[in-house]
Amino acid sequence: MTHRAVVTGGTRGIGAAISVALKQAGHSVLANYAGNDEAAKAFSDETGIATAKWDVGDYDACAKGLADAANQLGGPVDIVINNAGITRDGMFHKMTPEAWNDVIRVDLTSLFNMTRPVIDGMREGGFGRIINISSINGQKGQMGQVNYSAAKAGVIGFTKALAQETARKGITVNCVAPGYIDTDMVAAVPQNVLDQIIAGIPVNRLGKASEIGAAVVFLCSDDAGFITGATLSANGGQYMCG
Ligand code: NDP
Model pLDDT for residues 24-38, shown as the tens digit of each residue = 999 999 999 999 999
Question: Quick one: pLDDT at residue 168?
Answer: 98
Sign of CA dihedral 240, 242, 210, 36: negative
Partners of 171 in the beta sheet? 128
Active-site position among 59, 148, 180, 239: 148
d(CA 103, CA 14): 18
Structure confidence by residue, pLDDT tens digits, 35-77: 999 999 999 999 999 999 999 999 999 999 999 999 999 999 9
pLDDT confidence band for 184 (50 / 70 / 90): confident
Evaluate: CB of 84 within 6 angstroms of ligand 1.
yes
Domains along the chain with CATH numbers? 4-231 (3.40.50.720)
Atom of ligand 1 nearest to the CA of 12: 9
Question: Quick one: pLDDT at residue 34?
Answer: 98
Evaluate: CB of 49 within 6 angstroms of ligand 1.
no
Residue 189 exposed, middle or buried by CB count within 10 Å (0-12, 13-18, 19+): middle
Rounded distance from Cα 151 to ligand 1 centre (Å): 14
191 vs 114, more confident: 114
Rounded distance from Cα 15 to ligand 1 centre (Å): 7
Is residue 238 over pLDDT 80? yes
- Closest protein CA for atom 2 of ligand 1: 185
* Overall size of the chain counted in residues: 242
Quick check: 33 and 10 in contact, CB under 8 A?
A: yes
Contacts for 73 with CB less than 8 Å, ≥ 6 apart: 4, 5, 28, 29, 30
